[in-house]
Structures are given as C-alpha cells and as structure tokens.
Structure 1
Amino acid sequence: MRLVADTRPPRTTAALYDCVVSHARTGRVRHSFRHRTFLWLIDPDDPPRLPRPLRAAARFDPRDHFGGHAPTIRAALDDYLAAQGVDLGGGRVRMLTGARVWGYVFNPITLYWCHDAEGAPVCVVAEVHNTYGQRHCYLLRPDDDGYADVAKDFYVSPFFPVDGAYRMRVPEPAAALSVTVRLRLDGDVPFTAVLTGERRGATPGALLRLLARNPWPTAKVSADIRRHGVRLFLRGLPVHARPAHPTQEGLR
C-alpha cells in the first residue's frame, strides 16, 4: 500500500488575543470610545478543550453562529459557503470570536479566514450580529494587503441607514491582531471601528488573567453598545427605522 503525504497545513493552535476596540463617529455628532476585551482564535474543527472548572468561561456553541441549527460551527460555515459557490475542499479555517462566557455571548463580529486543501487563502467571512438578535454574513475577497470592499446590507447602528459600503482590512492575525472597518456613505467616512490585539497562549493561566481584568467580556460589550447608543440618542441623533432582514441563503 502506498502512503500519500498529507499536504494540508497543521491544525491551528488556539490562541487568545488581549484586545482594544476603538469606535470613532464623525459628522453631525462626534463620538469615540475605546474598551478592552479579549477574543479567541480557534480552529472550529478542533476547538480548545479546557479544564472542567473553566468550561463555563469559554464555550464555542454552534447555536451562536450562522443560522444556529447546524451540528457544528464548521458545518454551518460550509453550508453558507456552498450557497455562495465556495468549496474549501476540507481546507483549514481560523476563526476569531468571543466565546460564550458564563452562559452569555454577544459577538458584534466574528471572522473566519478560509483556506483550501493546500493551505492557500480563499476568502474571509465576516459574521455580524446586531443587538436585535439578528445576524448577517459578508463574503470578503481581500487583496494582498488584506483590504476588501462590500456593500452594507445589514442594520447595525440605529443611527445609520442600511446604505453605503464597508472598507474592511482583515489580515490574518499572527503575533498581533489588526482589523479595521470603515463605513463609506455619501462620499464620507462617518464611522470607523478598529480592533487591535496581542497574542497570548490559550492556557488556563492566560484565560484566568484576562478574566480577572474583564470577568464577563461578552456582557460588557453588549452593555457598552447600548450605553453609547443612549448617549448618542440623548445628544439628538435621529434614529433610522430597522428594515426587515431576510434570512440569508445557506444559513440553516
């Protein structure tokens, strides 16, 4: 029997990123803020296995991604990609996300760097959640510098219409993480979000240190978004009505 070498890249070792999220809004009302959080970089085919006492602090549940009904996160991603005409051929995926912590999760954005069977990059999927319980995926084809442009199709902030386009920079993270999302609307850039982070080993000790500083990061992110939204409303920003959002093809 002839043995055939597996040319696929090795599975991704899970990592933690100690992050800073910055939002800047320009235009009629200027507003900016920064907050600390932490995120995971994992292989959805092989999520980290934590000691039992820490499992409630980091769960990766298929219900929290895509349509929420697939048996695994990877199966849901493959379903979505198939509906867009993309087949990874079993290639590896790296997923940047917040875990479910103490039973609660809210991920404004989850990123999936998708590779083919030989390890070449194919696409990036940006899965966006809003505070109304809705989700939407953007299929990105970044250039060599990590930039991709995509029309805005999803209601996120009540202070912006579902118009314009995003300019995203989504290079695959290494020792450092750097992601930028800019909204382009009517020739201006009224909103910019920047996510930066430093890689940490995905060890129980590293997780405990991050939790000591930020014990419930998912709840804090959700509360911060609402708190800043109230401040903007009180400063007189008009609210745009939220349109119906149809279920995307491939999100079962």
Structure 2
Amino acid sequence: MKSAIYRGSVFHSRKKPFDHEFKYSLYMAYVNLKEINNILPNSFLWGINKKALISFNRRDYLERPEKKLIDAAKNLVFERIGKKIKGPIYLLAHLRTYGHCFNPVSFYYCFDKSEKNIDAIIAEVTNTPWKQRYCYVLDCQNSEKKNIFKNIKDKKLHVSPFFPMDHEYHFSISKPEKTITIKIDNLNQGVKVHEALLCLNKEDFSKKSLIKALINFPFMTVKVVTAIHWQAIKLWFKGAKLYNNPH
C-alpha cells in the first residue's frame, strides 16, 4: 500500500454524568516512514524537516528525536511487547501546517515482512496544554480478525481534565484500506463513559490532494487545538468535575 491522504470526520460522545457530543471534519496523512523522503519531492507544498506549507518534522512524533522515526517505532514495539518489526511502518497523523502541528493521537501501523499483515499498532497520545506523550502498543498478531484489531489498555496519561485516571481504553482499529475506522471507548469500572470514533476515506498522496487539503482545512492542527479548548469550556459551563494532572 502506498502513502495516502485520508479525509473524514471525528466524533466524540460523552455518556457520564451527562451527554455531550461533537463532530468535526478533518484530514490526516498516511505515510510510509521508510519512503517519506520520496513521497513528493521538489514541491513547494511539501517539506521534510524544513519550512513548507505542509511538512513532516521528526520532532512532532515519538521521543528520541536523534533517531529516525522508523527506528524509534521499531525499538518501542520491541521494548513493550518483545516483537521485532520486519516490514514497513505507516504513520497516520496530522502533518505540520504553516509551521504548527498537534496530534491528539498518532497511529503507527507496523506490518510484517509480507506487508500484508499488521503485527502491532502504536497509539501515541499527546495531551494539551502540557504536551506530554504516552504510547499504547497494541499486539495485533493474535487478533481474531485480520482486518480489525481490538485491545484493552489501562489509561496511563492525563488527557481530559474532566476525567480521572482510573479508566480503561478499549481500542478497535481497522486495517488501512479504502477506509479507516478507529473506535476508542473509555470505560470506568466497566461502564462506558466516553467514545471517540474516527472515520476516514482514502485519497492518493499528491500535489492535488495536498492543495485540496489546504483549501478545505487551511489551519488543520490549529483547528484541532481550538476545538479541544472550546469543548472544554462547554463542559466546564455544564458543570463537569475537574481533575488535576497527576504527572
């Protein structure tokens, strides 16, 4: 599979102690980390670790910025679940636009040598305003289905100030094809209190698709940060309880 642009929407639904929902349109890039330097060469639109309208900057993803991102991802998977990734790794994330980048969650799809099966998925969560990161590494090899990967992880990072830490994340992630569907349920003592749903449709990674993305989403990640704070204000006015960041 080649690098691509995915367009669609993200939907959030809070269940407890009251209902609160919102939905936003967005686009995300899906890039082969091994071939990132050759995706769209010699374009004023696209840059690697340099200023451009849309750019990939190593510092925006994972720790250990001195390492290549693909190596950092492979090392992380091996450290967490003892698995050596022998195939390509694709990153699904927001890119830097006009010099700004923020990803609530970035996903790394780690394929096997055949490039047909996914061995692991990294879900890299970043909070705001603290900009702390934590990576959930999902082992996909023993999944019941080869195109949908489910996993349960204890919450390790303070994300929303309106939720405590004693939660579980229930991940359901589809294999990237013509569409991508990612669902994350947030459970507290077995009760679902929140769900997030990402639904995306594939487009080719090209100058045309990048121009289209810039026109439709001129300040993509600024919009993401603004939306997070706007929804937080609405929750505060509704009387949602605040929890301090323990980290």
TM-score normalized with structure 2 length: 0.89
The corresponding residue for 1:167 is 170
Q: Aligned equivalents of 1:167 and 1:51: distance in 2?
A: 42
1:58 partnered with 2:51? no
Is the deviation greater in 72-81 or in 233-242? 72-81
Comparing both chains, which one has the higher relative contact order based on Cα–Cα distances under 8 Å and sequence gaps of 6 or more?
A: 1
CA contact (8 A) 1:17 1:198 kept: yes
1:140 to 138, 141, 164: 138
What displacement does 1:80 show?
Answer: 1.5
1:122-161 alignment to 2 at 5 Å?
122-131=119-128, 132-142=130-140, 143=143, 144=145, 145-161=148-164
DSSP-derived class of the 1:45 partner: helix
1:17-166 alignment to 2 at 5 Å?
17-47=6-36, 48-55=39-46, 56-84=52-80, 85-89=82-86, 91-119=87-115, 120-131=117-128, 132-142=130-140, 143=143, 144=145, 145-166=148-169
CA contact (8 A) 1:167 1:183 kept: yes
Distance 1:68 1:29, change over 3 A: farther
- What root-mean-square deviation, in Å, do the aligned CA atoms of Structure 1 and Structure 2 show? 1.4
DSSP-derived class of the 1:76 partner: helix
What displacement does 1:100 show?
Answer: 0.8
1:14 partnered with 2:3? yes
1:205 to 182, 205, 208: 208
Instruction: Give 5+ residue unaligned stretches, structure 1.
Output: 1-11, 245-252
1:234 to 237, 241, 244: 237
Cα-to-partner distance string for 1:50-89 (whole Å, 9 max, x where unaligned): 5432122322221111115233211221231232222113
TM-score normalized with structure 1 length: 0.87
Is the deviation greater in 217-226 or in 59-68? 59-68
DSSP-derived class of the 1:59 partner: strand
CA contact (8 A) 1:62 1:68 kept: no
Aligned length: 232
DSSP-derived class of the 2:35 partner: coil
What is the aligned-residue identity percentage?
25
The corresponding residue for 2:192 is 189
Which amino acid is the alignment partner of residue 14 of structure 1?
A: S
Q: Aligned equivalents of 1:51 and 1:57: distance in 2?
A: 13
What displacement does 1:121 show?
Answer: 2.3
Which amino acid is the alignment partner of residue 22 of structure 2?
A: F
Cα-to-partner distance string for 1:13-50 (whole Å, 9 max, x where unaligned): 21001120100001122110000110011111111225
CA contact (8 A) 2:77 2:120 kept: no
Instruction: Give 5+ residue unaligned stretches, structure 2.
Output: 47-51
DSSP-derived class of the 1:53 partner: coil
DSSP-derived class of the 2:122 partner: strand
